[in-house]
Amino acid sequence: MKHKGFIFDIDGVVVDNHSYHFKAWMEFSKKYHFQLNSEIYRDTFNGKTNADLFRMIFGNISDKEIKQYGDEKESCYQNLYKNEMKPHTGLVEYLQFLKYNHLKIALGTSAPTMNVNFTLDTLSLRPFFNVIVDGPMVTHGKPHPQAYELCAKELALDPKDCVVFEDSLAGLQSGKSAGCSIIGVSTSHTESELESHVEQIIHDFTDPTVFRL
């Protein structure tokens, strides 16, 4: 393996869950009367923190209001997804491979802690990760490189020795700007949409190329 650190986004990478987030956001948009469709969601929502999103929707609201809206939206998402959740195809076997080879593993996301806990603990994935960077630790959402810079720092590695797995264009830019190698995961975008932004694309973690990174 050429890299020493392996950093995973959560939504669309650890789990292929975007359709459930989209359903939850659509319910939220109908209740609070703002425009949302699949194109707006794909192009402007992926990678952003809840604070960024709720200020984009509602304007200059308080931290308390952001938390209230966030808890409401994420509770809706969890109710929709809890009986359908599973790790992305091949992920567990790949994480086991990385652990067996004593490589460092991090989770880098702007998702709220309640969703990170929901995913990692429901699927018993937490023991695989040496480092977890999530929403409250990130003051600048993707495409800002902060999330992946923090992951590399917490792994005690140079970013150039790390590879980032990302499904969103903002996330790929975040990893690239942090100085990491980037791998596109074609869940929220098609391969043709990703190919101009990244040299290597996988559909899932059964792709043999991931074992040579």
Whole-angstrom distance, CA of residue 125 vs CA of residue 129: 8
Where on the phi/psi map is residue 15: left (φ > 0), alpha (ψ -120 to 50), or beta?
Answer: beta
- Which pLDDT tens digit goes with each residue over 115-139? 999 999 999 999 999 999 998 999 8
Task: Tell me how many domains the chain contains.
Answer: 2
For residues 162 and 183, state if they share a domain. Answer: yes
Number of helices (H), then strands (E), belonging to the chain: the values are 9, 6
Run of H or E including 77: helix 63-81
For residues 145 and 201, state if they share a domain. Answer: yes
Domain membership of residue 99 as a residue range:
5-16+86-212
Last residue of a domain, one of 48, 64, 81: 81
For residues 98 and 155, state if they share a domain. Answer: yes
- Which pLDDT tens digit goes with each residue over 60-82? 999 999 999 999 999 999 999 99
For residues 74 and 132, state if they share a domain. Answer: no
pLDDT band at 44 (very low <50, low <70, confident <90, very high): confident
CATH of the domain at 56: 1.10.150
For residues 30 and 130, state if they share a domain. Answer: no
